[in-house]
């Protein structure tokens, strides 16, 4: 059946690029809005400012640091040995996967549901592989480890955000002169945010543009970048006085205004970390199709991701966010628990840290689960009454529905494509 690849290779590539872009658009509309929702909810950024920040840093994260997770999504879920004689099945399946997940994300974003793109794509791959190829084609231990990471990631992020916000309360908010304490301790939090994001950039990201740093070099350069960010942040802090002022429709005292500056830093960190992790969901299947078609039908376990494939994913994410991202931002930022800049900062930095660790180790976590876990952690630090449990219930329900919907749609599209091309 290699003649299907030879005869329709160009058309399959064009479809792959369109569907890959559509999937990336869905990630932008849904998941990036998750990532920026805390900043908007805490009123540290307006929706327009959040979109601008996300566009720059999401694009940079996806393009510079997006290659590591991609290989996990691509090579781990399906046993390529089972379909080595029928590569067109992998191509049809990955096309179906992109289209199915993209459609579900469009529906969810329209209704403002923060669903998991990682759930969507993995559910879609499992769906077409189990029905279209055979249950034995799926690497079930790999699926188990991915599924475990969906539970582990919100727990880790929730724990980190709980501890971070507790430290903020003890060191700053509960002090007699909390404003002076904020000016004293906030630069340390800035340093931590700067160091985290710099590490993933130097260790993982710059490989894709021809730079290779050792672990020692990466640590050294990350310390330098973090120090520079801290110095700039400290200079900005000097301009804040301890008066209550209006910002984006809310009244903030000096302490919260200090944290709103810090939230801009962590918003950039979260956007970069998210771009590096979640671009894999769109370009993993796309890279698989490109690899099979360009090699004339041979299925490689792992191949180099062309820069133009990363570019399609990165630009799709940015356009999706700009067009439809505001709906999900409102759910995450305002509906789960009341966020102030100090609370939002703790949630955002915890989520960014969790995503950076996952991106560095190649584990495809769900940023949605991570961020919602982090927001819940901050809410729990104030007591269970601070959380809107009915909203949390709806979010969890949309998470549960995502897997079967993704699987069902991909099975449908898989057989439609198979019927059309063969």
Angle, CA 356 vertex, CA 276 and CA 376 arms, to 5° = 110
Which residues does the chain have with pLDDT short of 70? Answer: 1-2, 65-75, 200-201, 203-212, 248, 277, 297, 299-305, 359-360, 362, 364
Whether 187 and 240 have beta carbons less than 8 Å apart is answered as no
Spacing of C-alpha 342 from chain mean position: 22
Structure tokens at 343: 């609370």
CA-closest candidate to residue 172, choices 245, 248, 246, 262 = 262
Give the model's pLDDT for residue 100: 96
- Over residues 326-357, the pLDDT tens digits come to 888 888 878 788 888 888 888 888 887 787 77
Angle between helices 87-110 and 254-294 (to 10 degrees): 150
Residue 247: phi, psi to the nearest 5? -140, 120
The predicted pLDDT at position 22 comes to 95
Count of C-beta atoms within a 10 Å radius of residue 242: 15
Supply the pLDDT for residue 408: 95
CB-count burial class (<10 Å; 0-12, 13-18, 19+) for 328 = buried
Q: What is the pTM of this model?
A: 0.82
Query: What 3-state DSSP class applies to 250?
Result: strand
pLDDT at position 227, please? Answer: 95
Please give the pLDDT value at position 239. Answer: 84
Residue 97's nearest CA partner among 403, 419, 421 is 403
Model pLDDT, residue 17: 92
For the chain, first and last CA: distance in Å?
9
């Amino acid at each position: 059946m290699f003649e299907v690849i030879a005869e329709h290779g160009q058309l399959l590539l064009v479809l792959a690029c369109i569907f890959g872009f559509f999937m990336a658009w869905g990630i932008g509309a849904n998941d990036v809005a998750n990532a920026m929702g805390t900043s908007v909810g805490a009123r540290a950024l307006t929706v327009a400012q959040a979109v601008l920040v996300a566009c720059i840093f999401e694009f940079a994260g996806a393009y510079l640091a997006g290659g590591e997770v991609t290989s996990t999504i691509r090579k781990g879920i399906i046993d390529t040995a089972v379909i080595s004689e029928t590569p067109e099945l992998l191509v049809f399946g990955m096309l179906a996967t992109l289209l199915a997940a993209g459609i579900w994300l469009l529906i969810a974003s329209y209704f403002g549901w923060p669903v998991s793109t990682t759930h969507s794509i993995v559910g879609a791959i499992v769906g077409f592989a189990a029905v279209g190829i055979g249950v034995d084609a799926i690497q079930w231990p790999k699926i188990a480890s991915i599924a475990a990471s969906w539970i582990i990631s919100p727990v880790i992020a929730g724990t980190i955000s709980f501890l971070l916000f507790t430290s903020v309360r003890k060191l700053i908010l509960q002090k007699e002169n909390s404003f002076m304490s904020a000016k004293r301790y906030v630069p340390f939090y800035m340093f931590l945010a700067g160091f985290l994001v710099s590490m993933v950039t130097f260790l993982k990201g710059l490989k894709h543009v021809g730079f290779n740093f050792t672990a020692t070099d990466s640590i050294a350069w990350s310390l330098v970048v973090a120090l520079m960010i801290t110095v700039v942040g400290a200079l900005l802090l000097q301009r804040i006085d301890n008066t209550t002022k209006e910002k984006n429709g809310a009244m903030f005292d000096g302490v919260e205004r200090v944290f709103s500056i810090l939230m801009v830093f962590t918003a950039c960190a979260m956007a970069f970390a998210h771009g590096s992790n979640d671009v894999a969901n769109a370009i993993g299947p796309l890279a698989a199709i490109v690899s099979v078609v360009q090699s004339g039908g041979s299925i490689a376990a792992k191949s180099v991701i062309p820069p133009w494939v990363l570019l399609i994913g990165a630009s799709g994410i940015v356009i999706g966010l700009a067009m439809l991202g505001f709906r999900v931002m409102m759910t995450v930022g305002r509906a789960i628990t009341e966020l102030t800049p100090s609370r939002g900062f703790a949630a955002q930095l915890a989520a960014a840290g969790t995503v950076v660790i996952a991106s560095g180790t190649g584990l495809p976590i769900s940023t949605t689960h991570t961020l919602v876990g982090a927001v819940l952690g901050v809410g729990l630090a104030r007591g269970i009454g601070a959380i809107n449990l009915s909203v949390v219930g709806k979010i969890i329900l949309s998470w549960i529905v995502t897997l079967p919907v993704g699987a069902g749609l991909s099975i449908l599209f898989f057989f439609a494509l198979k019927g059309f091309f063969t």
